Amino acid sequence: MSIEESQISIIEDKYNPLIERRELTLEVTSKTTPKRVELRKALATIFKVPLDCIYVRSCITSFGTNRSICRIHIYKDAERARQIEPKYIQLRNSEEQSKK
């Protein structure tokens, strides 16, 4: 998935000051369900943040549609993200996991 092949629209954008992160709900329109790693790379260029500060929590595509609803967390600091995000989410968003 590249930025040219898909359309990303923000449904909800909240800032959580206690955890110091942005919590986004996005609608991604593309030919296929976006892969987490590719979505993270696209969002890192859009929001101009480091790749290790973005975590895709979920990406759900309804059957028969080309739209996915994705929940994203964007942290100010990568270390803070590693402290808060569960290990299984960190593994799902890693490059090594996507190669398996």
Residue 81 lies inside a defined structural domain of this protein = yes
Residue 58 lies inside a defined structural domain of this protein = yes
Residue 63 lies inside a defined structural domain of this protein = yes
Q: How many Å separate Cα 36 from the centre of its chain? A: 7
Residue 1 lies inside a defined structural domain of this protein = no
Query: Which residue in this structure is represented by tokens 């960190």?
Result: 90
**Residue-number span of the structural domain to which 65 is assigned:** 7-89
* Whole-angstrom distance, CA of residue 75 vs CA of residue 72: 10
| pLDDT, average across residues 7-33 | 93
The upper half-sphere exposure of residue 31, i.e. CA atoms within 13 Å in the direction of its Cβ, equals: 5
Q: What pTM value is reported for the model?
A: 0.86
pLDDT band at 95 (very low <50, low <70, confident <90, very high): confident
Q: Which CATH number goes with the domain that contains 45?
A: 3.30.70.330
* Domain count of the fold of the chain: 1
Give pLDDT tens digits for 31-55.
Answer: 888 889 999 999 999 999 999 999 9
